[in-house]
Amino acid sequence: MIVIKTPLELEAMRRVNRMTARVRDELAAMVRPGITTLELGVAALDIIRKLGGISAFYGYHGFPGQICVSVNEEVVHGIPGKRVIREGDIVSIDTGVTFGGFIGDTAVTVAAGKIDDEKNRLLVVTKAALDAGISKAIAGNRLGDISHAIQTVVEAAGFSVVREFVGHGIGCDMHEDPQIPNFGKAGHGPKLKPGMTLAIEPMVNIGSPKVKVLEDNWTAVTCDGSASAHFEHTVAVGVTAPEILTLP
C-alpha cells in the first residue's frame, strides 16, 4: 500500500530531510585524497547527533555503519572502514536520518581531487538522470514515467542502469511502497498522487549493469570493475511540480 502523507506529516518529512541534506553536504565537503571511509562514518555520527537525529542506516537489517560510503566500482551499501580515498576516486555518500518519527534519505557522488573525463561524465549524466526522473513526480503521471525518464537519459549517454537496486517510497519506514526501478515503460505503474513521498535514486555504471554483493553481505560492486555513481533525493509528489525535500 502506498502511504499518502497528510500536511502535518509532510511538514515532518520536510524537517528531517533538510537535516539529512545538511549531513550529506557536510560529508561531501570532507571528501579528499587521504581520508578514510571510516573517518566519514565517524563524522556522520557526530553531525547527526548534533542535529538531534539518529542514523536511519545503523542497525537497519544489521547494517554496521552510520552511512553508506561506496568508492569507484562500489555501487551502493559500502561499509565505512579502512579504505583510503585516493586522488581520482569517485565517492558515493548515502545518508539516512531519523527524526520525529520520520526518515530522510539522500545520496551524492563526488570527486576526490581530479578525476578523468569518463568519470566526470558519469557524474554529470547520473545527476541529469535524477533530475529527469524527479521532473515526472507530478500528480496524474505514472510511476513508470519516472523510471523511463531516468533510463532514457542514462542509455542515451552510453551508460547502464543498475537493475538489482531501486528507489522506494519513504516516510515512517525507510522502505515503503512503491518500488521505483530506474528503468521501465512510460505510462505504466501506479498513478502518482499528491502526498506520496518517494526516494528517487539512479545508480549508473560506466560499463555493464551487472553487479554482485561482496562477502561482507552488503557492499555491491560492478561485476566488470567499472565505476558507478549514485544520486538520490527524497521528493514529495506535487499537483503541478515535484517538491525536492532534500535540498540544502
Question: Hey, what's the cell of 36?
Answer: 578514510
The three cell numbers of residue 32 are: 579528499
- Cα 11 to Cα 5: distance, rounded to the nearest angstrom: 9
- Residue-wise pLDDT for 187-202, tens only, equals 999 999 999 999 999 9
Question: C-alpha cell of 137?
Answer: 513526480
User: If you search the block for the grid coordinates 520520520, which residue do you land on?
Assistant: 102
pLDDT tens per residue across span 56-72: 999 999 999 999 999 99
Spans of all domains in the chain: 7-241
Q: Give the pLDDT confidence of 72-104 residue by residue, as tens digits.
A: 999 999 999 999 999 999 999 999 999 999 999
Residue 107 has pLDDT above 90, yes or no: yes
What pTM was computed for the model? 0.97
Predicted confidence (pLDDT) at residue 224 exceeds the cutoff of 90: yes
Q: Is 7-241 assigned to CATH 3.90.230.10? A: yes
Mean pLDDT in the chain?
98
